[in-house]
Amino acid sequence: SKQDGRNRITFFSEEMGALARARDLVEIELKRAIQNREFILHFQPRLCLRTNRVVSAEALVRWQHPKRGLIMPAEFIAICEETGMIEDLGQLILEMACQTSMAWHKSGKDIELSINISPRQFADKRLLDALRDFSSHPDFPTGKIELEITENVLIGDHDFIAQKLDAIASMGYRIAIDDFGTGYSNLSYISRFQLNCLKIDQSFVSQLPKSGPIISLILTLAEQIGATIVAEGVETKEQLAWLRNHQCDQAQGYFVSHPVEEKDLFGVIEDLNTG
């Protein structure tokens, strides 16, 4: 009836109002959290399938909320991206990650570090300055730092993007394409830009062996352009075996290791390296 319809609309708008208020609250809390540096990094190892050794790790941010405990990026990264707060949060993450990498390097831990760079952070003018500051430090292992960007970062003004990527590469940083194969862009950027690494999205890996043909295609493509290929979201020994048999370079996923706190990382790596 008409009456029901009206109630429904009232109900929806109340519910949406409540949602909007909840979101405003998260936004206010996030602003405060960024100021207070309530974020930590976890690290997920990347295993080389030829040598069976951990060669790299990905930094993954977590929000250490004073009351709610550890909050995962799915709950806050998108809000930060939409509101522009990611520019400050991204800067904070970059600082933490680079400092961590420098500490590892100084203590003789020879491992690469991947850092996620969001589209808005990639567009942020401060990114190049920050990267230049770090790379100019004598103890900083620039060549061991990889920046993970998604395909949608590469849509748009190609000359502008090429310039930025060239500047980053000339400092010695590596560039990886994250979630490869899930973007809506065409693949022309592959030959246009210098890319060091492609990370096959976990949605392909989880569908092995059915997705075998498409993963084989990506492996061939990566070889053609001289990029390292990493399979993400490897959860089973069958997936790992398939990838190894098809000369995939590296694997990352729960079957190898979950993301862990820094204090546990090198113990986990030690165990993985010694089998």
Find which of ligand C2E, Ca ion, none residue 74 binds, CB within 5 to 8 Å per kind. ligand C2E
> Cβ contacts of residue 5 below 8 Å, gap of 6+?
none
Q: Say if residues 198 and 180 touch (Cβ distance below 8 Å).
A: yes
Based on the shown chain and the rule CB under 6 A, indicate whether residue 235 belongs to the binding site for ligand C2E: yes
Between residue 92 and residue 131, which ones bind ligand C2E under the rule CB under 6 A? Answer: 93, 116, 118
* Tokens matching residue 16: 């949406």
What dihedral angle (degrees, nearest 10) is formed by the CA atoms of 238, 242, 248, 249? Answer: 40
Residue written as tokens 């900083």? 140
Question: Residues touching Ca ion: how many (CB under 5 A)?
Answer: 5
CB of 256 vs ligand C2E, minimal distance in Å: 8
φ, ψ of residue 46 to 5 degrees: the values are -120, 125
> Cβ contacts of residue 43 below 8 Å, gap of 6+?
57, 58, 59, 60, 113, 259, 260, 261, 262, 265
Based on the shown chain and the rule CB under 6 A, indicate whether residue 61 belongs to the binding site for ligand C2E: yes
Q: Which stretch binds Ca ion (CB under 5 A): 41-49, 97-105, 178-186, 249-257?
A: 178-186
Q: Which residue is nearest to ligand C2E (CB)?
A: 253
Between residue 154 and residue 173, which ones bind ligand C2E under the rule CB under 6 A? Answer: none
Closest CB to Ca ion among residues 112, 232: 232
Closest CB to ligand C2E among residues 178, 249: 178
In sequence order, what E strands does the chain have? 39-48, 53-65, 69-71, 112-116, 145-150, 174-180, 197-200, 228-231, 250-251, 260-261
Based on the shown chain and the rule CB under 5 A, indicate whether residue 29 belongs to the binding site for Ca ion: no
Based on the shown chain and the rule CB under 5 A, indicate whether residue 179 belongs to the binding site for Ca ion: yes
Residues that bind ligand C2E (CB under 6 A): 44, 59-61, 72-74, 77, 90, 93, 116, 118, 178-179, 202, 233-235, 253-254, 259
